[in-house]
Amino acid sequence: MILSGSRALMVGLALAAAGCAYLQPTPVADTDLAAVNQADRLAAMADVPPLTGTLTLEEAIARALKFNLDRRSKLMEEAIAVNQLDASRYDLLPKLTAQAGYHHRDQDLTVRSRDSITGTPSLANPSISSDRNHNVSELGMSWSVLDFGNSYYQARQNSDRVLLSAERRRKAMHLLVQDVRTAFWRTASAQRLQAQIRSAIALAEEALADARQAEQERVRSPLDSLRYQRQVLENLRLLEATNQELTTARIELLQLINLPLATDVRVAEPTAAPGRAILKLPVERLEDLAALRNPEHREQFYNVRVANDEARKAIVRLFPGLSFNLGAKYDTDSYLMHQRWNEAGLQLSLNLFNLVSGPVQARLAEAGSALAEQRRMASQMALLAQVHIARLQYENALQQYERADAVAEVDQRISELINNRQQAQAQSKLEVVANQTTAILSLLRRYQSLAQAHSAASRLQATLGIEATIGDTSQIALTELAAIMGQAIKTWDLGTLPP
């Protein structure tokens, strides 16, 4: 039995109220959260080959480009932009709709008539003009010129947004390579120094114990004994602070290349420092290259194109709307003389308020385009300054590394002489600890300056927009990608720039 209209309305309201009653905040259960976390960890490490042997710099960069999770997110953002472009292309097509429905009335559609001349009610009985139950169907096509114009410019904007996402991916790749190179050299310094630091700390602890025992036995004056202890403690503080600074380097590198954080990674330290050949090139050449290839500056060109198309969309919306429609219809109502028929229509519409708001919208669109062009101009001026700054930072970093390397070599030779004298009982433990500490700190500064030199090299590369052409990393084997990155590093050291 079919419900009456009032009863159906009451039932509908009751169902809606019941549905609203169940819309309550539902926190995630701990068991569900734990299961999702475990699944995420397994998915993050899926298809990531384990590390075998020592890790080279080019393999570290290749692993980061291939498996780093943040980079995967950037690639997915670019894929979404491509899909949005593909979807927007369908908006250019006419709308083709198919509809079907069922109509029911609990009473016949009964009408009375009135005489069109006299205005008096007709003496004929009321007539029925429609079945209580009948089906309707329609296949129609409509096309709006105004919607086509908006969709066309929207598709052009989406195509520019695909290029924008590609430039953002390039920028993220430059930053990732920079972080990997810095973390790699910090890991190399930890690998080189931690054994020496532990040995020096152990010797300092022995010297501190001897000094406290000498103070208790009053072998020397209390003031000399306390001064001796303070010098040993100061060296211990420096050694322990250095050790703490180096302990996090391995974790940072493993996180960047997406390996389990418990992996015992050993890095193969390259012998060559970053080259100076790039610094011998004319700075004007670097400026021109950066203006053509820098990803942030290229973004501004696409932003101008997006803003210009937004202005065109605003102008298109001011035009009258012209739409065409064509449809084939069918109705099972037995009272119809023709149950099948075709319809065609043409409609012209205009929002009269556009006549008032049109000039304002046009000025707003022009202002948006002018702002985008101004930002592009400012970006180029800032980029030129950035090229000079990055070049000077790279030159200074190389100079600091060369100086730190020379100091570390001298301190290492001094430490070796002091150790030899201590073995001959001609030197106190305090001097041995102090000189070992100095040598370790000098070697640490050497590695720090080397890491800064590599970071400055990556920063200058990012400013110039130079990167290896690698294509889709998911389609390239890890060994092949590592070889490409190794060749890119050699090319940079030789000062070879792209045309």
**Mean pLDDT of the chain, nearest integer:** 82
Asked if 453 and 390 count as a contact pair (C-beta separation under 8 A), the reply is: no
Asked if 453 and 178 count as a contact pair (C-beta separation under 8 A), the reply is: no
What was the pLDDT predicted at 426? 46
User: What is the pLDDT confidence band of residue 487, given thresholds at 50, 70 and 90?
Assistant: confident
CB neighbour list of residue 53: distance below 8 Å, 6 or more residues apart:
266
Encode pLDDT of 369-410 as tens digits: 889 899 999 999 999 999 999 999 999 999 998 898 888 888
- What is the C-alpha to C-alpha distance for residues 396 and 187, in angstroms, rounded to an integer? 23
Q: Find the mean pLDDT for residues 97-119.
A: 80
What was the pLDDT predicted at 23? 60
Asked if the structure places residue 233 within a domain, the reply is yes
Asked if the structure places residue 434 within a domain, the reply is yes
- What is the C-alpha to C-alpha distance for residues 496 and 499, in angstroms, rounded to an integer? 9
- What is the C-alpha to C-alpha distance for residues 186 and 496, in angstroms, rounded to an integer? 27
Burial class (CB in 10 A: 0-12, 13-18, 19+), 488: buried
Place of tokens 């089906």: 135
Asked if the structure places residue 343 within a domain, the reply is no
Q: What is the DSSP string of 161-222?
A: HHHHHHHHHHHHHHHHHHHHHHHHHHHHHHHHHHHHHHHHHHHHHHHHHHHHHHHHHTSS-H
Residue 41 or 254, more confident:
254
What was the pLDDT predicted at 2? 45
Cα 417 from chain centroid (whole Å): 52
What was the pLDDT predicted at 192? 84
User: Looking at the predicted structure, is the pLDDT value of residue 244 above 60?
Assistant: yes
Asked if the structure places residue 93 within a domain, the reply is yes
Q: Find the mean pLDDT for residues 215-237.
A: 75
Residue 44 or 387, more confident:
387
Asked if the structure places residue 60 within a domain, the reply is yes
Asked if the structure places residue 349 within a domain, the reply is no
Asked if 214 and 256 count as a contact pair (C-beta separation under 8 A), the reply is: no
Model pTM score: 0.77
- What is the C-alpha to C-alpha distance for residues 485 and 80, in angstroms, rounded to an integer? 27
User: Looking at the predicted structure, is the pLDDT value of residue 219 above 70?
Assistant: no
Number of domains forming the structure of the chain: 1
Asked if 463 and 287 count as a contact pair (C-beta separation under 8 A), the reply is: no
CB neighbour list of residue 54: distance below 8 Å, 6 or more residues apart:
266, 267, 268
Going 196 to 202 to 207 to 212, the CA torsion angle's sign is positive
Encode pLDDT of 171-211 as tens digits: 888 888 888 988 898 888 888 888 777 877 787 787 777 77
Asked if the structure places residue 14 within a domain, the reply is no
State the CATH number of the domain containing residue 194.
1.20.1600.10
Length of the chain: 499
Encode pLDDT of 447-471 as tens digits: 888 888 888 988 998 899 888 888 7
Asked if the structure places residue 108 within a domain, the reply is no
Domain, as residue range, for 274: 54-97+145-325+359-493
Which H or E run contains 347?
Answer: strand 340-349
